[in-house]
Amino acid sequence: MNEAQQERLRSVRRDLHSYPEPAWREFYTTSRIVDEIERIGVDQLYLGRDVVDGDARMAVPDDDELEEWRAKADEAGAREDVLEAAAGGFTGAMAVLEQGEGPTVALRVDIDALPITESNSVAHTPAAEEFRSTNEGYMHACGHDAHATIGLGVLEAVKESDFRGTFKVVFQPAEEVIGGGKAVAESGHLDDVDHLLAIHIGLDHPTGEIVAGVGGFLAVRQFQATFTGETAHAGGHPAQGRDAVQALATAVQNLHAIRRHGDGATRVNAGVVEGGTATNIVPGEATLEGEVRGETTPLKEYMSERADTVMSSAAEMHDCEVAIETTAEAPSAMSDDALADVVYDAADSVPGVTSRLRTDDLGGSEDATYLMDRVQDHGGTATFVGIGTDHPGGHHTPAFDVDADSLAIGVDVVSEAIRRLSK
């Protein structure tokens, strides 16, 4: 990749970084991606409801919030045709190249940001070089701006290569809330895919290091539980109340007492707890947002069943009711060794790659697993590729950033692997 191409990657990534948008609100991001796709030139471009199964979306914000972010993107210069296609939160895009007879290969990249206030420190490169987030309270703290940029770079590289076959790039919304992967999988766009690659930058691997087949995905379920009791005067008539916060507190305590399973790793977390209105009122409503995870999908189901029992029992113990809603979930998945080997071998030929790993564990969750499972269930292969980058601070922190040199390395490794798949 020449210096001009590398500079274009850096410029696109900085633009996306400066305008981060959270799940299902990636209006400007989608518009900017479409600009680049049209510059490259593709055979098919899908937008809006043509990208995802609308009934399979999870964790979608309400209409007022969607409209607020759409208006902000409009002010920032997003294209009207893209905003119209994405109305209702149908963000994201898919580009398709048709280059003769050969396999159908897909690349999945995610595009959403996180609700984190970005660092203002002069030691933070985006702040020092003036491409820090302009959407205060939100930032690309996990590298999805780099993922989208690499996806565009790979699209252009594959078009200019001798690749023969069909190549699809999915720019997926709503990964951070585990809300978009299932919707893309259910769209049917991947059912004819022979090989799927998904990517993630960083993951505590340095610039120049490539992980050909990331594993160790934890299946996850996120939920919201609403406890309902009866309000009463806490001083005059406490016995007339049914304390929803007390039920919630019992639930939180007992969620962390769920027995771990001998078949593998399990997790539980009560992440958000809210309830009550005043010190002298027995609280009649309280909410809990939490999650469970498992090393495999059955282990996640074990934790889910136990968590629901704990919360229902806590409500009953304190004469309250509870409504439990699954807000998002994703299965576990495995990278295919044969496809990971192609990536591993391709990386050996790429300048800038200093070390290669065949596999490493993610240790977290990712809704790319929906896409991986879908392709594998239809007879294809899939792998999750780690692209190392030197990043200050950890993922999901105010100081997260990526090393610009890793963008070109990621493009070259992935595009070379895709080129080899058509041979």
List the CATH number of the domain containing 96.
Answer: 3.40.630.10
Looking at every residue in the chain, the average pLDDT score rounds to 97
Q: What integer is the mean pLDDT of 320-330? A: 97
Q: Check the annotation: does 147 bind a ligand.
A: no
Q: How many CB atoms lie within 10 A of CB 80?
A: 9
Q: What is the pLDDT of residue 296?
A: 94
Answer for the pair 194, 395: CB distance below 8 angstroms, yes or no: no
Give yes or no: residues 305 and 340 share one domain: no
Q: Tell me: pLDDT of 11 over 90.
A: yes
Q: What DSSP letter does each residue of 199-225 carry, written as one string?
A: EEE-TT--TTEEEEEEE-PPEEEEEEE
Q: What is the pLDDT of residue 248?
A: 98
Radius of gyration of the chain from Cα atoms?
23
Q: Check the annotation: does 144 bind a ligand.
A: yes
Answer for the pair 166, 94: CB distance below 8 angstroms, yes or no: no
Q: Burial level of 254, CB count in 10 A (0-12/13-18/19+)?
A: middle
d(CA 3, CA 15): 18
Q: Which amino acid is at 68?
A: E
What's the DSSP call for residue 55? Answer: G
Provide φ and ψ at 296, rounded to 5°. -130, 165
| 148 contacts: CB under 8 Å, gap ≥ 6 | 13, 16, 29, 33, 109, 110, 111, 171
Among the candidates 330, 355, 380, a domain finishes at 330
Q: What is the pLDDT of residue 227?
A: 98
Q: Check the annotation: does 320 bind a ligand.
A: no
Q: What is the pLDDT of residue 1?
A: 82
Residues 176-225: tens digit of each pLDDT = 999 999 999 999 999 999 999 999 999 999 999 999 999 999 999 999 99
Among the candidates 289, 308, 330, a domain finishes at 330
Q: Check the annotation: does 84 bind a ligand.
A: no
Answer for the pair 145, 52: CB distance below 8 angstroms, yes or no: no
Give yes or no: residues 260 and 183 share one domain: no
Number of separate domains in the chain: 2
Give yes or no: residues 184 and 280 share one domain: no
Residues 70-86: tens digit of each pLDDT = 999 999 999 999 999 99
Give yes or no: residues 160 and 241 share one domain: no
What's the DSSP call for residue 97? Answer: E
Q: What integer is the mean pLDDT of 259-272? A: 94
Residues 147-165: tens digit of each pLDDT = 999 999 999 999 999 999 9
Give yes or no: residues 290 and 337 share one domain: no
Answer for the pair 297, 372: CB distance below 8 angstroms, yes or no: no
For helices 3-18 and 144-159, angle between their N-to-C axes, nearest 10 degrees:
140
CATH code, domain with 308: 3.30.70.360
Q: Burial level of 351, CB count in 10 A (0-12/13-18/19+)?
A: exposed
Residues 328-357: tens digit of each pLDDT = 999 999 999 999 999 999 999 999 999 999
Give yes or no: residues 50 and 194 share one domain: yes
Give yes or no: residues 170 and 72 share one domain: yes
Give yes or no: residues 212 and 356 share one domain: yes
Q: Tell me: pLDDT of 393 over 90.
A: no
Give yes or no: residues 318 and 402 share one domain: no
Among the candidates 330, 347, 368, a domain finishes at 330
Residues 114-141: tens digit of each pLDDT = 999 999 999 999 999 999 999 999 999 9
Give yes or no: residues 107 and 196 share one domain: yes
Give yes or no: residues 163 and 240 share one domain: no
Give yes or no: residues 342 and 251 share one domain: no
Q: Which amino acid is at 119?
A: S
Which residue segment(s) compose the domain that 323 sits in?
Answer: 219-330
